[in-house]
């Protein structure tokens, strides 16, 4: 009888637990469905004029039609605040009373960070947005120190204190690890606009000096990765137009202004650089940008998710979230519980970009710590948004640059990362990718030319860049599509001469030559002379660069490449290539070797003719042709000639 009573008791407990589970899941289901999501903000089709108004004020292009500012004030976000703050700080005493009151009202009611009351669908979390919002909050608080901000209920001084910590944390991360959005032609412009405003207008000397130091590091990236004023390289975040290269990649005129033809920077995010009274570009960066020697530039940027614990960023406090979200890591198994805790705490399920996290917003998952198990099981495509450590290799000559993101997450998803390519002088670039969807797909990124459906394994030495693609047989449940081919941007109309023979494509532009080699036959997509297709799921791509100076005629280059030995084992995923008396081997499991010697593709912080420095070095020295720059972040030291 006793055993029977115990069995009945256990059954009652089990039924009670099941009932509790059903009630909890049902309650959470309807609670999640009831969450109202804000529409996308701000409108993308609006015409914003604050940057042009600031330029007009600087150049004395008067009178100002202040009605042009109305759209900005109605649709304020962190991309608009830099220009508005420039107007206020530079020309506040010249504003009509009605305009000043409208600006004041907009800035005093703005939602400056994710922990403030209310909601919207603005993007706060990526690396560039973080410093833009922190800069805006700090400088707005400095303008109105004793006013109460209507959205937060905090004084301007309180906002300055909040923002100051985020600014210094952000700057410190960039000093120690570099940029997560490394070499981004798009987002470095946003970083510049935030840093220049802090340098020009912040009253805190530590913030000013440290902002100068980090802007210097950004400029080293731009100078070292530029060829003939075109900033073109692999990247943590790149879009179609930046991957395709050419003169458009000049950071809105920054490279032309500082080391090109001196043409004025046009009104925009980087205009403040030209009119800055407090930031002077160190001359060593001009020397680096104009260097025409044959140079190898190795660099380590950012952190891997596996390194967050040892670096002290594994938690859910604000600084760790700043690091994790700056990498755009949300659903990765080691991160997801931090994400869910922060999103719940701050009511961020109402944000359009984060609304899908409601699928994990169930109490039972939280109680039992099941979120990591769920995301491992599902392996959502959002895991590929995370920008992990980039060990970059760039080979530059006066004619071209060839670049690689070495051994970076092979086989994983990718959103906007850019892993391998070649800049043909300052004319255009070539690159290959696995498209995540067809060209007419509705999803913006990853797409046909942006990001990757699946990352390749990439390795480079000097003039040879190797890549292996290993596409699965079946798409994951979270993937929109899984296309069974890879392709390359190889625009025949931009070359002087192009030849496609079997699995080889050759191009000549001026004195620059390139060979693009696949495992399988190459052919242009029907109706296209730009889109070079290679069918197959287990394939390889080789880019080899050449020039008249090194190879003589294009015919000599062409014939030499055809004689090079190449073999690819699709089962063992091993690529063997011989060129210029070197035997290159790339293996999916064992990595990269040259002449049977293993090559380390994890680098020091800086490794180039211009600077040698270990990770988290206390002091950095850049030098070339008698010019130098010495930086020490902790001592606010910045010396240059």
Mean pLDDT for each consecutive 10-residue tract of the chain (641 residues)?
71 80 92 94 87 97 96 95 98 96 97 96 97 98 98 98 98 98 98 98 98 98 97 97 95 96 95 97 98 97 97 95 97 97 97 96 95 95 94 97 97 96 97 92 84 97 98 89 96 97 98 98 97 98 97 97 97 97 97 97 98 98 98 98 97
Residue 249 forms part of a structural domain: yes
Judge if 416 and 283 occupy the same domain. no
Residue 317 forms part of a structural domain: no
SS3 content of the chain, % helix, strand, coil (to 5): 40, 20, 40
Judge if 226 and 92 occupy the same domain. yes
- The number of beta carbons lying within 10 Å of the beta carbon of residue 144 is 17
Separation of first and last alpha carbons in the chain:
93
Judge if 249 and 132 occupy the same domain. yes
Concatenating the DSSP letter of every residue in 429-446 gives EEEEE--SS-TT-S--SS
- Tell me the CA distances in angstroms from 163 to 77, 112, 153, one per residue in order: 16, 9, 15
Residue 257 forms part of a structural domain: yes
Distance CA 630, CA 618 (A): 11
- Tell me the CA distances in angstroms from 392 to 172, 234, 372, 602, one per residue in order: 21, 7, 30, 9
Residue 229 forms part of a structural domain: yes
- Res 420: pLDDT: 98
Reference 247, options 220, 229, 267; nearest CA is: 229
Judge if 398 and 516 occupy the same domain. yes
Distance CA 192, CA 187 (A): 9
Distance CA 319, CA 186 (A): 25
List Cβ neighbours of 353 (8 Å cut-off, separation of 6 or more).
121, 123
List Cβ neighbours of 164 (8 Å cut-off, separation of 6 or more).
138, 204, 207
Judge if 113 and 208 occupy the same domain. yes
List Cβ neighbours of 254 (8 Å cut-off, separation of 6 or more).
192, 222, 265, 270, 273
Cis peptide bond upstream of 447, omega within 30: no
Residue 41 forms part of a structural domain: no
At which residue do the structure tokens 């604000």 appear? 318
Reference 85, options 131, 137, 121; nearest CA is: 137
Judge if 193 and 211 occupy the same domain. yes
CB 454 within 8 A of CB 465: no
Cis peptide bond upstream of 175, omega within 30: no
Judge if 457 and 488 occupy the same domain. yes
| Cα Rg, the chain, nearest whole Å | 27
Distance CA 464, CA 459 (A): 9
Q: Which domain holds residue 88?
A: 50-291
Judge if 147 and 29 occupy the same domain. no
Residue 477 forms part of a structural domain: yes
- Res 441: pLDDT: 67
Judge if 509 and 406 occupy the same domain. yes
Judge if 485 and 573 occupy the same domain. yes
Domain boundary among 291, 314, 338: 291
Judge if 597 and 468 occupy the same domain. yes
pTM of the predicted model over 0.85: yes
Domain boundary among 274, 291, 308: 291
- Res 480: pLDDT: 82
- Res 12: pLDDT: 75
3-state secondary structure of 315: coil
Judge if 633 and 595 occupy the same domain. no
- Res 71: pLDDT: 96
- Tell me the CA distances in angstroms from 415 to 191, 393, 409, 484, one per residue in order: 20, 21, 12, 18
Residue 135 forms part of a structural domain: yes
**Count of domains in the chain?**
4
List Cβ neighbours of 154 (8 Å cut-off, separation of 6 or more).
148, 162
Residue 45 forms part of a structural domain: no
- Res 477: pLDDT: 85
Distance CA 82, CA 542 (A): 43
């Amino acid at each position: 009888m006793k055993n029977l009573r115990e069995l009945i008791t256990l059954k009652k407990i089990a039924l009670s637990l099941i009932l509790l589970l059903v009630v909890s899941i049902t309650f959470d289901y309807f609670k999640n469905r009831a969450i109202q999501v804000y529409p996308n903000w701000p409108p993308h089709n609006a015409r914003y004029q604050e940057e042009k108004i600031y330029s007009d004020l600087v150049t004395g292009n008067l009178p100002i039609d202040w009605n042009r500012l109305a759209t900005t004030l109605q649709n304020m976000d962190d991309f608009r605040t830099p220009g508005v703050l420039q107007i206020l700080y530079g020309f506040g005493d010249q504003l009509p009373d009605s305009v000043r009151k409208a600006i004041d009202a907009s800035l005093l009611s703005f939602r400056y960070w994710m922990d403030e009351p209310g909601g919207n669908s603005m993007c706060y979390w990526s690396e560039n947005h973080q410093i833009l919002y922190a800069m805006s909050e700090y400088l707005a608080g400095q303008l109105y120190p004793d006013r109460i901000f209507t959205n937060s209920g905090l004084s301007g001084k309180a906002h300055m204190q909040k923002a100051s910590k985020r600014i210094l944390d952000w700057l410190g991360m960039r000093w120690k690890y570099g940029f997560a959005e490394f070499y981004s032609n798009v987002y470095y412009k946003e970083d510049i606009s935030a840093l220049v405003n802090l340098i020009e207008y912040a009253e805190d000397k530590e913030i000013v000096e440290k902002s100068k130091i980090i802007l210097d590091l950004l400029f080293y990236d731009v100078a070292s990765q530029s060829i003939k004023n075109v900033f073109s390289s692999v990247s943590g975040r790149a879009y179609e137009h930046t991957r395709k290269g050419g003169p458009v990649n000049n950071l809105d005129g920054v490279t032309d202004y500082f080391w090109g033809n001196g043409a004025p920077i046009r009104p925009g995010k980087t205009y403040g650089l030209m009119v800055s009274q407090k930031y002077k570009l160190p001359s060593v960066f001009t020397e680096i940008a104009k260097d025409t020697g044959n140079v190898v530039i190795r660099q380590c940027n950012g952190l891997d998710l596996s390194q967050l614990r040892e670096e002290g960023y594994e938690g859910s406090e604000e600084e760790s979230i700043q690091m994790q979200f700056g990498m755009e890591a949300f659903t990765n198994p080691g991160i997801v519980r931090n994400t869910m805790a922060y999103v719940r705490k701050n009511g961020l399920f109402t944000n359009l970009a984060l609304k899908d996290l409601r699928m994990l917003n169930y109490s039972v998952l939280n109680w039992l710590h099941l979120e990591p198990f769920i995301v491992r099981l599902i392996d959502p495509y959002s895991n590929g948004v995370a920008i992990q450590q980039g060990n970059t290799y760039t080979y530059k000559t006066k004619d071209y640059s060839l670049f690689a993101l070495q051994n970076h997450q092979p086989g994983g998803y990718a959103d906007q990362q850019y892993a391998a390519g070649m800049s043909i002088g300052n004319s255009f670039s070539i690159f290959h990718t696995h498209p995540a969807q067809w060209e007419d797909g509705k999803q913006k990124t990853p797409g046909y030319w942006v990001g990757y459906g699946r990352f390749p394994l990439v390795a480079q030495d000097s003039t040879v860049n190797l890549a292996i693609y290993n596409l699965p047989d079946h798409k994951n449940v979270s993937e929109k599509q899984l296309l069974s081919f890879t392709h390359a941007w190889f625009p025949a109309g931009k070359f002087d001469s192009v030849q496609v023979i079997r699995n080889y494509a050759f191009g000549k532009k001026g004195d620059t030559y390139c060979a693009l080699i696949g495992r399988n036959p190459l052919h242009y997509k029907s109706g296209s002379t730009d889109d070079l297709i290679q069918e197959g799921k287990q394939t390889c791509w080789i880019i080899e660069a050449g020039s008249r100076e090194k190879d003589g005629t294009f015919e000599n280059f062409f014939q030499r490449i055809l004689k090079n030995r190449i073999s690819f084992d699709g089962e063992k995923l091993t690529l063997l290539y011989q060129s210029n008396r070197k035997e290159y081997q790339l293996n999916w499991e064992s990595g990269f070797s040259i002449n049977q010697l293993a090559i380390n593709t994890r680098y020091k912080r800086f490794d180039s003719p211009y600077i040698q420095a270990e990770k988290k070095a206390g002091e950095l020295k850049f030098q070339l042709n008698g010019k130098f720059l010495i930086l020490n972040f902790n001592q606010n030291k910045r010396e240059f000639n």
